[in-house]
Structure 1
């Protein structure tokens, strides 16, 4: 009797043990497998592993120094700067005089408008300008037509040797003063000692100055052809004021040259 009881107890224990093993096996099968890797040398010294992300193909590759956000910001900043400069020269308020002078000085000394305009005209057939204007007809190349136009015929009242810069010319009253060559107007306004003045920058790196004008008929940074009217002469200083006078000078680099060596006046 005791043997039968003991045998039955052992059978129950075996069944319980079998059920426990089956349960453990089922639990182990339902758990995800874990991958254990040995730490690298960098991880042993406290450095995090470097993770590399690669694109799907060559078309998705982007240069590591290129950042789209920075590129778009530069384009936006350039557009804003261009708009601000345009507003400065469209608005003639005295408040912006200092800012306009800085822009003028920078553009006059560091950028050759006439040279670039001449190159652009040779390549594409139209003048180049920063601000919108009505295009003029094309002018001949300097090399193919080296002769200069006479600004205005007249008698020389004050020669180059007197001031080392320019000459004073007496003409008829109300005479029109014309550009000696095609170029870009880099100054149009009042200049100390010269009154109303126009300065034209030419593609050969020279400048022609037209001072003591009664009126100015050109716009700043506009390309004008040779022989184009820049203004009219001021009345002479005599009491009758029957004649007109204007100042004319030619500048090459940082030095003025005698206009008589370039153009023959009456």
Structure 2
């Protein structure tokens, strides 16, 4: 160190220029000021930007392809399974893929919990459905004659039909009950997209299970009898209260 110091002092006395070590490495990147210098930076080159965008697109495509492969493989393996659990999953996937999305149910939940009218949902788009179109989506659950009309005490109506007559779903919906109900015997309850529930009572045989998705006119079972008389009970529930089924379902 002492020798270097002496050598520097000698060059200064002789007037020789002091070496600039920065010239050996060039100007630092962060001190470049001219346009030409800035163009040297890799992120200012069009080719560099294009390569980066291409890498991102390729990475996104590979990720999407891998996710699609996993989904396809998983679905294939499920539908190849013969175990009971696999068959239940097959039924669930088939029902989910076939049924329509419950826009009205989502809209009802949104209004109850958030108190708004989401215009992105068809139920709030302002398109009024004609009355005849509404009626066309509902069918009578069984062929028969109305023997007792609606009353709040009776909750629904009573129809006389043939013993063993087929009972069908009045509209599309989710089976929330398929079993014994006090006072109604074998009963099926279906919850529909518009918030309504239909009740099918005094059935002799039930051929549907809970948590199944049914379509209009889909067979639910057979009508039974009431003390030897082939009677069938039908009711409609709305917002926790029973209403007149004749205002919803067309009866001959």
Q: TM-score, normalised by structure 1?
A: 0.45
More helix by share: 2
